[in-house]
Amino acid sequence: MNNLRSSTSSIDETFHLSSSSTSTSTLSLSSSSTSLPNSPKLNHSVGGTSASYLNSSNSSTSSISNNSTSMQQQLLMNNSAKSTSRSNSSLSLSSSQPVFTRMASLSALPSVKSSTSETLTAYHEEFSKPVYDLFQHIKSENRLKEEFLALEYAYQQSSHSTVEGNLKYNTSKNRYTNIVPWDTTRVKLEKIDGLEGSDYINANFIAGGEHYKQYICTQGPLQNTFVDFWRMVWENGSTIVVMLSKELENSRPKCDRYWSESDRIEYDQFAVKMTSIVRDLPREIIIRTFTLTNSQLNQSRIITHYQYEGWPDHNAPNDTEPLRYLMHQINTKQKQSIERDGQRAPIVVHCSAGVGRTGTFCTVHIVMSRIDNAAENDRINFNIYSIVDNLRKQRPGMVQQLEQYLFCYATIADELKQREKAQSR
């Protein structure tokens, strides 16, 4: 990923995954034509059954021709007219609240044809086709860049209502002024009589492949939203919280600490007590166990809190293994919760804004769930474009930039190789 971070405007570079014997792959940009060798069609054991991961694919890897009136140029023009710049990593301040800078590496994206609605529809139809042969698909860097550019353009042309998040009594609850939840999927808290905006929190329900409320994606809590955050966890029966950021990154606050590492701490009717902590230093993962108590109901629940500190803001990790390990831990815990409680509760996922790293996590987790749930000889669709497009219809800006988009593909590729390696033993 280091090379990817310094991606230039060249469109002749090729995206490839290292084909070394290690179980993890390195995303890199190279001026050579190096790419993965064709992967054999194998059946891999998945939960006692087998699934054909790498079948013949009807996915297209053909590059779309360039045009002087490109979608990329219009994106750049549109961005220059907006207050939020995509060309640098700094956070500009608006009154007392920052604006979240989305950092899609547009200078590294190839040009595409015109930006008419007919053309956009054609791109969407092409990029939405099933991807059954993942390794063949990721050979074309230009194809993956074109997918992301089409997502960016479609996102700019989309229109969603954000009335609740922009009401005067709710704006102070938004960490970033320009990341406000879509009204159609926003999480609604139970209303408190006489308190305006008491049902508002900057969070959205996200449908995955398994459940229409598979995730709650939210921003890193602010001090004035701690109570709302724990209300949301309690009211939705969630027992798993995933935190994909540090509290401070580059000396900037990304998430306020909504728990105590030592004392029992109270947030109105809720009390949070950390009962255990396990640190995985090599992977930069911390697993905490909280007891969450609702004093009004005199009830307590166990919350498992997973924090991944090795994921840089506006970017992607250098290695896919820690995230894949984390997801396996979360899946095991969720399975135990379902068996114990008899129902599936949303996984609460947040980073800072709750869109970049959070969206990337959800994208990868959705595909991994497809793999886990595949029956024997099922053809698994590895189309990341369609997943991200669907996520953005539920919460703004999910999967923030190109590096994160490519990381989704790399993570799934590594997972397939790891499972193939385990099966061959």
Report the range of poorest mean pLDDT among 8-17, 155-164, 334-343, 378-387: 8-17
Domain assignment present for residue 164? The answer is no
Rg (CA), the chain: 21
Structure tokens, 238: 């969630």
Output the pLDDT for position 167. 97
Domain assignment present for residue 260? The answer is yes
Evaluated on CA atoms 326, 328, 334, 337, the torsion sign reads negative
- Report the chain's mean pLDDT, rounded to a whole number: 79
353 vs 31, residue with greater confidence: 353
Output the pLDDT for position 6. 32
With b for 16 or more beta-carbon neighbours within 10 A and e for fewer, the 377-396 pattern comes to ebbbbbbbbbbbbebbbbbb
- Do both 135 and 222 map to the same domain? no
Just list the catalytic residues.
351
- Do both 23 and 86 map to the same domain? yes
342 vs 225, residue with greater confidence: 225
Averaged pLDDT for residues 183-212:
94
d(CA 185, CA 42): 39
User: How many Cα neighbours within 13 Å face the side chain of 46?
Assistant: 21
- Do both 109 and 249 map to the same domain? no
- Do both 394 and 368 map to the same domain? yes
Q: Where are the beta strands (DSSP E) in 237-283?
A: 240-243, 248-249, 252-253, 265-267, 270-280
- Do both 184 and 150 map to the same domain? no
pLDDT band with cut points at 50, 70 and 90 for residue 399 = very high
Output the pLDDT for position 116. 65
Averaged pLDDT for residues 380-400:
96
- The β-bridge partners of 93 are 98
Backbone angles phi, psi at 271, to 5 degrees: -125, 135
Structure tokens, 25: 């792959």
Domain assignment present for residue 22? The answer is yes
- Do both 101 and 152 map to the same domain? yes
Domain assignment present for residue 167? The answer is no
- Do both 238 and 313 map to the same domain? yes
pLDDT above 70 coverage of the chain, percent: 73
- Do both 289 and 373 map to the same domain? yes
The DSSP symbol for 138 reads T
Q: Looking at 128, 157, 186, which one is the last position of a domain?
A: 157
- The β-bridge partners of 305 are 241, 288
Domain assignment present for residue 297? The answer is yes
d(CA 257, CA 241): 13
Query: Which is nearest to 333 in space by CA: 414, 241, 419, 422?
Result: 241
- Do both 145 and 246 map to the same domain? no
Backbone angles phi, psi at 379, to 5 degrees: -95, 120
pLDDT digits (tens, 9 = 90+) for 324-364: 999 999 999 999 988 888 888 999 999 999 999 999 999 99
Averaged pLDDT for residues 273-277:
98
Q: Looking at 133, 157, 181, which one is the last position of a domain?
A: 157
Output the pLDDT for position 121. 81
Question: 3-class DSSP state for residue 317?
Answer: coil
User: Given phi > 0 = left and psi -120 to 50 = alpha, else beta, which region is 268?
Assistant: left
Q: Where are the beta strands (DSSP E) in 109-268?
A: 203-206, 215-218, 240-243, 248-249, 252-253, 265-267
d(CA 235, CA 159): 29
Side chain identity at 8, as an amino acid letter?
Answer: T
Domain assignment present for residue 325? The answer is yes
Domain containing 374: what range? Answer: 173-424
Residue 58 has pLDDT above 50, yes or no: no
| CATH code assigned at 412 | 3.90.190.10
Output the pLDDT for position 4. 36
Output the pLDDT for position 276. 97
pLDDT digits (tens, 9 = 90+) for 135-157: 999 999 899 999 999 999 888 88
Report the range of poorest mean pLDDT among 101-105, 216-220, 308-312, 338-342: 101-105
- Do both 23 and 77 map to the same domain? yes
d(CA 89, CA 131): 33
- Do both 121 and 11 map to the same domain? yes
Output the pLDDT for position 123. 87
Q: Looking at 126, 157, 188, which one is the last position of a domain?
A: 157
Averaged pLDDT for residues 258-278:
96
- Do both 140 and 234 map to the same domain? no
Residue 111 has pLDDT above 60, yes or no: no
Output the pLDDT for position 60. 39
Residue 32 has pLDDT above 80, yes or no: no
**Exposed/middle/buried for 269, CB within 10 Å: 0-12, 13-18, 19+?**
middle
User: Given phi > 0 = left and psi -120 to 50 = alpha, else beta, which region is 122?
Assistant: alpha
Residues in the chain: 425
Output the pLDDT for position 122. 86
Output the pLDDT for position 72. 53
Backbone angles phi, psi at 294, to 5 degrees: -100, 105
CB distance 256 to 247 below 8 Å? yes
Query: Which is nearest to 7 in space by CA: 356, 315, 384?
Result: 315
CB distance 133 to 54 below 8 Å? yes
Q: Which of 39-48, 55-64, 118-127 tops mean pLDDT?
A: 118-127
pTM above 0.75, yes or no: yes
**What is the number of domains present in the chain?**
2
Strands 299-308 and 240-243: parallel
Residue 315 has pLDDT above 50, yes or no: yes
Averaged pLDDT for residues 74-94:
37
Output the pLDDT for position 293. 98
Which strand (E) or helix (H) includes residue 306?
A: strand 299-308
d(CA 225, CA 169): 13
Averaged pLDDT for residues 116-121:
75
Domain assignment present for residue 124? The answer is yes
Averaged pLDDT for residues 75-88:
40
Residue 316 has pLDDT above 50, yes or no: yes
Q: Which residues are CB-contacts of 108 (< 8 A; sequence separation ≥ 6)?
A: 7, 8, 9, 10, 11, 145, 402
Inter-CA distances, 283 with 7, 82, 134, Å: 25, 38, 26
Domain assignment present for residue 163? The answer is no
